[in-house]
Every structure is written in structure tokens, then in C-alpha cells.
């Protein structure tokens, strides 16, 4: 997805990794687990879903959770030889909660795969656990570029990384908006800071003048950064962070008289951005995302079919990463359909999978990134976030 500063922690120290190995070994022995990761009982397998399902940024995670459940429900309705169960693990986006949940999922619940973790910070901490347990993961929303540079063999993601996202949003800022002065704000997180850096590098490369500020998302007063932005007099402001803080930031910027166009990344693609900004303060803000939200079928017939099924099931429009959650589940479904019910066998299958998805083709590079990814931009209109189009070609009306 990753997301507040407190959700980010350092990668486990070597001593922690050693302790983890011991814990998993003892737990596996106690539970009768095999050394090649989880396996099904012959009639069914269990796939986990991990992310912030009840925290303040859960609006980003509930849609992919629903998308995944819809995919598994449709698959199970075909009465397959091996059914797929899904089990939720509510980490609230916190690494300190995600790690023990992952250990329990592997040793107690015998999951054979994991959709998630949703956020980058928790993914950074859970990754070593999944590697040790040999459990394949497909994240619908963890975008930190460094995640696929860890040398992990069991990590995959459906979405393009923040280097791709930042370059796409940066291109839109200079081409779609023709902005010449860009103020970049980030929340110092493992998600927001690198994303902000990529946006800044991109717009500078296209001739824009920039300045950078930072906020503590847990603080209530952003006046120091707001005043810094006001003094700079930007044409556009980009925020690398999440909608909970983003809404408050917009409100304080507008109250200070800063009228520059506000932009953000996928962490702000939620109606909570406008709600947190109050009134019409967020109107016209633009949010970029390596995700496709396409209820009208503007991008493809497949995305329209999915959006219709999602709305019928949940009585609400598909939102951020719903399609990617569906595609992540589809990757596991294809593996099981091909006769793979053990975790390591599923992981091997994921290295070769190549099937059409809702958001894009489901295919991974050897590092675990999607083989292809587009960046889309959305504009805040009231409480809605309609799709403008591809970041490289979209224009504001």
C-alpha cells in the first residue's frame, strides 16, 4: 500500500531473523507442518489476506479484500476439485502486528499463500517471515520500489512500484497541468518519502522548479510546512502519504490561502481525502495510482464486468485496488486449477503465470513486479474520484 510513519520499521536485525527461524521450526514441528510451506487437505486450501481492515487507512484495504473474496467465491461456485478458503489477518497496517499474524498464519492456519500485506512498511517486515516459511505472497497494493530488491523468492505484487508511479504523476504535473513551480510534501514514511522524491526528480527533469517539505502525519498542526509552501508560491503541490493526513493537509493549506492544485499518490485515492479536507477544499485535486478503477468500462470490457459484479455483491462501487485484489486472487486460483496445492508448487507456478486480468495481464518479472503497469489519474469531484485517464496523456477538462 506503508503507511504512517509509525507503520514503518526497519528490516529485522540478524538476531531477529535467527530467532524467527527457531520459532518457525519449533512451531512447524508442533503443528506437524512440512518443510515446503503450507499445503491443503486435498479438498481445500487456505489463502490469507493481510492488511489494515479496521484502522484509519482501511479504506485503501477493504476494497482489495472484497475483490479477492469475490474472485474466490466465483471460483468456488464452479464446484472445483479443490476449493479455496480465505482467512483475514487484520494487521491495521502495523508491522508489529503483522509479523506475529504471519507466523500464526503459517504454523497454525497452514496457509498456502497470502494476498498482501497491503502496505509497504508491513510488507518489509513480513517478507522475511514469508521467505522463511516458503509462503508465496501477492500484494495488491504495496508499492515501495525497494521491496523487489530484497532478493525475495516468494514476494509478488500486482501493482507498479513507486518509481513508476512517481514518474507518471510527475509527467502529468508538468505535461497535463503545465506546472512550473512544484512544492513536494512527504510524510517521511517508507512509502511517501521515496514517492515524493521520484515526483520531484521527474518534474525537475522536465524543467520545473521545486522545493520539498515534510509533515508528521500523527501531528495535528502542519503550519510549518504550510507556511513553507505558501512562501514558495507553487503552481502545484504533491503530497506523498495517505488520505487521513492528506485531507488535513489540504484543509490547512486552503485556510492559509494556498490555492495551488493539490496532487497525491495512491495512498490518497479514497473519498476520505475530500471528507478530511472539509467542504469543497479538495475539489479538483488529482490523485495518481498504478490501479484501475473503471466502473464505466472506459478502459476495457473486463473492468466493466468486474465493476458490475462487485457492485452487485457489495452494493457499492469498486474502489482503490479492488480490481488488483481480484487479480491477486486470480493468480492463486490459476495455480490451484493447474493442480498446485502446496505453497512451493504454487510459488513455482506464479513465476510462469500469464493470464488476462481485470486491471492488467497477470504476469510477474523474476523479481516479483508486474510485467507491465500503467499509471492512472483521478480527479476529486465532490465525494467521487472519476478516472481522467492514463497519466501520460490525461488532461483536465
Same domain, 64 and 138: yes
Same domain, 98 and 202: no
**Host domain of residue 146:** 5-159+303-350
Is 310 in a helix, a strand, or coil? helix
With respect to residue 227, please indicate whether it lies within any of the assigned structural domains. yes
With respect to residue 87, please indicate whether it lies within any of the assigned structural domains. yes
Same domain, 266 and 386: yes
With respect to residue 103, please indicate whether it lies within any of the assigned structural domains. yes
Same domain, 181 and 154: no
Q: What is the mean pLDDT of the chain?
A: 90
Residue with cell 503550519: 223
Domain total of the chain: 2
- Sheet (strand 261-264) strand order: 209-214, 181-186, 236-240, 261-264, 286-289, 376-379, 387-390
pLDDT band at 395 (very low <50, low <70, confident <90, very high): confident
Q: What is the CATH number of the domain that holds 137?
A: 3.40.50.2300
Question: Which pLDDT belongs to residue 298?
Answer: 78
Same domain, 263 and 334: no
Same domain, 141 and 247: no
With respect to residue 357, please indicate whether it lies within any of the assigned structural domains. no
pLDDT at 9 over 60: no
Q: Are 333 and 84 in contact (CB under 8 A)?
A: yes
Same domain, 98 and 167: no
Same domain, 153 and 236: no
Question: For the segment 215-255, what is each residue's pLDDT rounded down to a tens digit?
Answer: 999 999 999 999 999 999 999 999 999 999 999 999 999 99
- Nearest Cα neighbor of 161 from 141, 145, 149, 137 is 145
Question: Which pLDDT belongs to residue 196?
Answer: 96
Same domain, 13 and 115: yes
Q: Are 198 and 215 in contact (CB under 8 A)?
A: no
With respect to residue 212, please indicate whether it lies within any of the assigned structural domains. yes
Same domain, 265 and 130: no
Same domain, 232 and 111: no
Same domain, 190 and 233: yes
Question: For the segment 327-373, what is each residue's pLDDT rounded down to a tens digit?
Answer: 999 999 999 999 999 999 999 999 999 999 999 999 999 999 999 88
With respect to residue 224, please indicate whether it lies within any of the assigned structural domains. yes
Amino acid at each position: 500500500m506503508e503507511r504512517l510513519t509509525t507503520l514503518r520499521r526497519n528490516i529485522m536485525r540478524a538476531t531477529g531473523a535467527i530467532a524467527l527461524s527457531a520459532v518457525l521450526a519449533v512451531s512447524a514441528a508442533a503443528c506437524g507442518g512440512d518443510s515446503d510451506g503450507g499445503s491443503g487437505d486435498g479438498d481445500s486450501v487456505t489463502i490469507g489476506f493481510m492488511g489494515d481492515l479496521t484502522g484509519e487507512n482501511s479504506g485503501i484495504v477493504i476494497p482489495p479484500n472484497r475483490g479477492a473474496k469475490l474472485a474466490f467465491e466465483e471460483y468456488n461456485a464452479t464446484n472445483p476439485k479443490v476449493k479455496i478458503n480465505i482467512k483475514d489477518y487484520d494487521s491495521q497496517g502495523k508491522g508489529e502486528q503483522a509479523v506475529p499474524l504471519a507466523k500464526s498464519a503459517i504454523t497454525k492456519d497452514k496457509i498456502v499463500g497470502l494476498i498482501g500485506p497491503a502496505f509497504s512498511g508491513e510488507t518489509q517486515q513480513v517478507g522475511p517471515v514469508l521467505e522463511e516459511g516458503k509462503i508465496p505472497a501477492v500484494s495488491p497494493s504495496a508499492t515501495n520500489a525497494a521491496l523487489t530488491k530484497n532478493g525475495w523468492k516468494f514476494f509478488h505484487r500486482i501493482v507498479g512500484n513507486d518509481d513508476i508511479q512517481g514518474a507518471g504523476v510527475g509527467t502529468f504535473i508538468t505535461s497535463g497541468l503545465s506546472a512550473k513551480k512544484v512544492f513536494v510534501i512527504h510524510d517521511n514514511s517508507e512509502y511517501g518519502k521515496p514517492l515524493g522524491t521520484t515526483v520531484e526528480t521527474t518534474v525537475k527533469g522536465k524543467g520545473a522548479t521545486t522545493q520539498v517539505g515534510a509533515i508528521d502525519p500523527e501531528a495535528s498542526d502542519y503550519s510549518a510546512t504550510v507556511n513553507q509552501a505558501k512562501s514558495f508560491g507553487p503552481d502545484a503541490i504533491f503530497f506523498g502519504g495517505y488520505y487521513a493526513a492528506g485531507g488535513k493537509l489540504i484543509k490547512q493549506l486552503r485556510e492559509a490561502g494556498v490555492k495551488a492544485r493539490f496532487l497525491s499518490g495512491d495512498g490518497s485515492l479514497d473519498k476520505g481525502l475530500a471528507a478530511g479536507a472539509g467542504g469543497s477544499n479538495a475539489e479538483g485535486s488529482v490523485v495518481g495510482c498504478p490501479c484501475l478503477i473503471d466502473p464505466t468500462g472506459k478502459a476495457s470490457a473486463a473492468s466493466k464486468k468486474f465493476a458490475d459484479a462487485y457492485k452487485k455483491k457489495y452494493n457499492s462501487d469498486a474502489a482503490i485496488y479492488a480490481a488488483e485484489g481480484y487479480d491477486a486472487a486470480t493468480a492463486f486460483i490459476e495455480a490451484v486449477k493447474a493442480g498446485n496445492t502446496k505453497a512451493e508448487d504454487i510459488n513455482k507456478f506464479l513465476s510462469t503465470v500469464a493470464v488476462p486480468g481485470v486491471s492488467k495481464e497477470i504476469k510477474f518479472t523474476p523479481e516479483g513486479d508486474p510485467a507491465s503497469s500503467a499509471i492512472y489519474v483521478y480527479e476529486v469531484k465532490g465525494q467521487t474520484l472519476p478516472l481522467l485517464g492514463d497519466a501520460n496523456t490525461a488532461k483536465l477538462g
